Amino acid sequence: MRILVANDDGVYSPGIACLAGIAAEFGETRVVAPDVEMSSAGHSITATRPLSYKRTPMKHVEAYRVNGTPADCVALGVSQWERVDVVLSGINLGSNLGNAIWHSGTLAAAKQAALMGLRGIALSIPVPKDEPDFGALQPAVREVLKVLLAETALTLVNVNFPHERPKGMLWTRQAVKLYDGKIMPAKDPMGRQHYWFTVTPLTETEEGTDLWAVEQGYVSLTPLRLDLTNEKQLALMQARHPLDATPAKARKAGDPPTSGVRAAVVRESE
């Protein structure tokens, strides 16, 4: 098995060193990570300048640093190393729970893998005060990888560890009812106004969600998907506001457009 390891904290983060060391127990492992911290970079990609990568010393594995985003690192790493089987991202210094997955660079690296037809697994841990004890965390990481690396049916998974020693592991769903993003105004020493994007503690958690599991002391494993289609609302709108048939169906039936908007466009083109 070939395992590519990326992150958004940067190639020198202790979290990626921990993850890469354990990944090497399961297969041939290579690290390709940003040369600087890219936290909350989301799924941005670099399109206005070229990317480059340089060899970086790391125990037990081959490692490279890239002047790009987490998604860049995965795309570049996969293109330069044939037959990658799975991409691991993390271990991120900070949880990626609930709606935080939308702007998470850690999740973006795993999503980029899924977009490229590979399996992607993102791993994160909260950092309330001190840096996590990655030595104590290793057994839990090893158990998670034993489950997820063997399960080829899962294409994209978000894993979050609790700060303390885990009680066990739970399959969870993403918490979506709350958003903890917040803009805080402040002034610099010159009295000029500026703003911080920060988060507020969430006090309400729903049982069975990733937030709830981590709060209860469990490792949260949340299967995700790339398809964002709201199937329930799509079916509702198709019933409430029926629109034109698909072009293929319209050509087959030979019927004119039924939508007033489509009909107007056709008349203008004649």
Give CA–CA dist 59/62, Å, rounded. Answer: 8
Quickly list DSSP for 97-135: -GGGGGT-HHHHHHHHHHHTTSEEEEEEE--SSSPP-HH
Peptide bond into 101 cis (omega under 30): no
Residue-by-residue pLDDT tens, the chain, 270 positions: 999 999 999 999 999 999 999 999 999 999 999 999 999 899 999 999 999 999 999 988 999 999 999 999 999 999 999 999 999 999 999 999 988 899 899 999 999 999 999 999 999 999 987 889 999 999 999 999 999 999 999 999 999 999 989 999 999 999 987 656 678 888 889 889 888 777 665 566 789 999 999 999 999 999 999 999 999 999 999 999 999 866 665 555 555 554 444 433 334 444
Tell me phi and psi for residue 212, to 5 degrees: -65, -45
- Report the amino acid identity of residue 132: P
Q: What is the model's pTM?
A: 0.84
